[in-house]
């Protein structure tokens, strides 16, 4: 039940720039999750969306004071909730 609750959330791609969001769940295999984890993209972390490139381009976010650019497809698999 808890697991199902956790799986809800909005894909990171749908958060407008300037907003902050908390990562609820990362969809994908162990390898994919680990790649994100290394960079500090981990469930529970708060991230800030810096900008989105137009025409389904990549998204730039800030976690732990580090900015990074991630592809749309990856951002689709990161589910978040908006933090005020």
Partner 1 sequence: MGNPNVGKSVVFSRLTGANVIASNYPGTTVDYSKGRMRIDGEKVEIIDAPGTYSLEPTNRAEEVALKMFKEADIVINVIDATNLERNLYLTLQILERDKPVIIALNLWDETKHLGIHIDEKKLEEILGVPVVPTVALTGEGIKTLVSRIKEAKSAEHIKPTSDEARWIEIGSIIKKVEKVEHKHHTIYDIISEVTIKPVTGIPFAIIIIFAAFWLVRIIGENLINFLLDPFFEDIYKPIMMQLSKLLGSGFIHDMLIGQLINGEIDFTQSMGILTTGLYVPIALVLPYIIAFYFTLSILEDSGYLPRLATLVDNIFHKLGMHGHGIVPTFLGLGCNVPGALATRTLETRKQRFISATLLAIAIPCMAQTAMIFGALGKYGMRYIAIVFLVLITLYLIIGLILNKTVKGESPEIFLEVPPYHRPSIKAVSKKTWMRVRWFLGEAVPFLMVGVFLVNLLYFLGVLQWIGKLLMPLMSTLFGLPGEASTALIVGFLRKDLAVGMLLPLNMNPLQLVIAVTMLTIYFPCVATFTVLLKELGFKDMIKSTLIMISTAISIGFILRVIFFGIP
Residues in the chain: 84
**Minimal distance in Å, beta carbon 62 to partner 1?**
9
Stretch 4-43: interaction string toward partner 1, x if CB under 8 A = -------------x----------------xx-xxxx-x-
Residue 74, token pair as written in the block: 């990856």
**Which member of 6, 67, 82, 83 binds partner 1 (CB under 8 A)?**
67
Nearest to 74 by CA among 38, 32, 31: 32
| Greatest C-alpha distance within the chain | 37
Please list, in sequence order, all residues whose beta carbon lies within 8 angstroms of the beta carbon of residue 4, skipping any fewer than 6 positions away.
Answer: none
Choose one: 1-9, 19-27, 48-56; the region binding partner 1 (CB under 8 A).
48-56
**Which member of 64, 81, 82, 83 binds partner 1 (CB under 8 A)?**
64
């Amino acid at each position: 039940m808890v697991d199902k609750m956790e799986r809800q959330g909005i894909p990171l791609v749908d958060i407008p720039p300037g907003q902050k969001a908390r990562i609820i769940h990362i969809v994908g295999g162990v390898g994919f999750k680990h790649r994100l984890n290394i960079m500090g993209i981990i469930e529970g972390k708060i991230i800030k969306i810096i900008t989105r490139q137009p025409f389904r381009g990549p998204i730039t976010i800030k976690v732990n004071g580090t900015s990074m650019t991630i592809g749309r497809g990856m951002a689709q698999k990161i589910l978040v909730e908006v933090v005020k």
